[in-house]
Amino acid sequence: MQSIHVRTKINGQAAEFLCEPRQSLLEVLRDVLRLTGTKEGCNDGNCGACTVEMDGRIVPACLVLGAEAEGADILTIEGIAEGSALHELQNAFLEGAALQCGVCTPGFIVASKALLERNPDPSEEEIRFWLANNLCRCTGYDKIVRSVQAAAEKMQQETTS
């Protein structure tokens, strides 16, 4: 099978890769580019573990073909922290004990970041609606929702101060 040459931008850096036509973006990220922070839980778009941001929209990377990333701007969990400083969401997840096994955590953080960029002060209901495609089997979601609330509060304080 002939490989396709794809030019894209990942976490702010230009990235090029070769992929087979049948390879998903998730496979490319994990197996070709070794960005293994994006996780595979179901490979059919139902668990949210592989959530990445692509041109400003959150998508399950397993439902995007690698070839479709041509010209796209992609953000993965590896691009959330700025340098050595964790993002407020990452801090909030740690302080709020919002992870147990941690395998769903990258997807939740990528999805939550996109939420807070659109809606800096979401209600509990809005957080629950936005995160409904991200499955977590360990926490029962309570501490995840509270941590997103805590991060939102902190980020708002930072913007107003």
Partner 1 sequence: MSTSTLGPKSTSAAPAGKSGNGAPRRDSYEPNMVLATQTFDVVGTRPVRHDGADKVTGRALYGADLTLAGTLHGAILRSPHAHARIRSIDTSKAEQMDGVHAVVTADDLPEAEDKLVDVGEGDTRLSYVHGNVLAKGKVLYQGHAVAAVAARNQHVALEAANAIVVDYEPLPSYMTAPEAMAADAELLHSDLRMKEFGEQTDKPSNVAEHFHWTAGAVDEGFAGSDVVVERTFDTSTVHQGYIEPHNVTALWNHDGRLHIWCSTQGAFVVRDVTSKILEIPVSNIKVTPMEIGGGFGGKIPVYMEPVAALMSRKTGRPVKIVMSREDVFTGTGPTPGSHVRVKVGASADGKIQALEATLAYEAGAYPGSFVAPGGMCVFAAYDCANLSVDCYDVVVNKPSSAAYRAPGATQAAFAAEQVIDEVASKLGLDPVGFRMRNAAKEGTRRADGPKFRRIGCEQVLQAVRDHPHYSAPLTGSNRGRGVAVGFWFNVGLESSCTLNVNTDGTVHLVEGSTDIGGTRTSIAMQAAEVLGIAAEEILPEVVDTDSVGFTSVTGGSRTTFATGWAAHDAAQKIVAEMRVRAAKLWSVEVEQVEHAKGVYSSNGNSIAFRDLAAMSSKTGGPVSATATVKPRGVGGSFSANIVDVEVDPETGKVEILRFTAVQDVGKAVHPSYVEGQMQGGSVQGIGWALNEEYFMGADGTMKNSSLLDYRMPTTLDLPMIDTCIVEVANPGHPFGVRGVGEANIVPPPAAIANAIHRAVGARMQRLPMSPPAVWAEVAGS
Residue 93 found at the interface with partner 1 (CB under 8 A): yes
Q: Is 138 in the site for partner 1 (CB under 8 A)?
A: yes
* CB of 18 or CB of 42, closer to partner 1: 42
| Cα–Cα distance for residue pair 109/59, rounded to 1 Å | 13
Element (H, E) at 137: none
Q: Other CB atoms closer than 10 Å to residue 126's CB: what's the count?
A: 14
Q: How many residues does the chain have?
A: 161
To 10 degrees, the CA torsion angle through 49, 52, 57, 61?
-70
Near partner 1 by CB under 8 A: residue from 21, 132, 156, 157: 132
Closer of 69 and 99 to partner 1 (Cβ)? 99
- 71 phi and psi, to 5 degrees? 75, 0
- 72 binding partner 1? (CB under 8 A): no
Phi, psi of 132 (to 5 degrees): -70, -15
Instruction: Based on the shown chain and the rule CB under 8 A, indicate whether residue 34 belongs to the binding site for partner 1.
Output: yes
- Asked if residue 4 binds partner 1 (CB under 8 A), the reply is no
141 binds partner 1 (CB under 8 A): yes
The residue to which tokens 């930072």 are assigned? 158
Give the interface with partner 1 as residue ranges (CB under 8 A): 20, 22, 30-31, 34-44, 46-47, 49, 76-78, 80-81, 86, 90, 92-97, 99-106, 109, 124, 127-129, 131-147, 149-150, 153
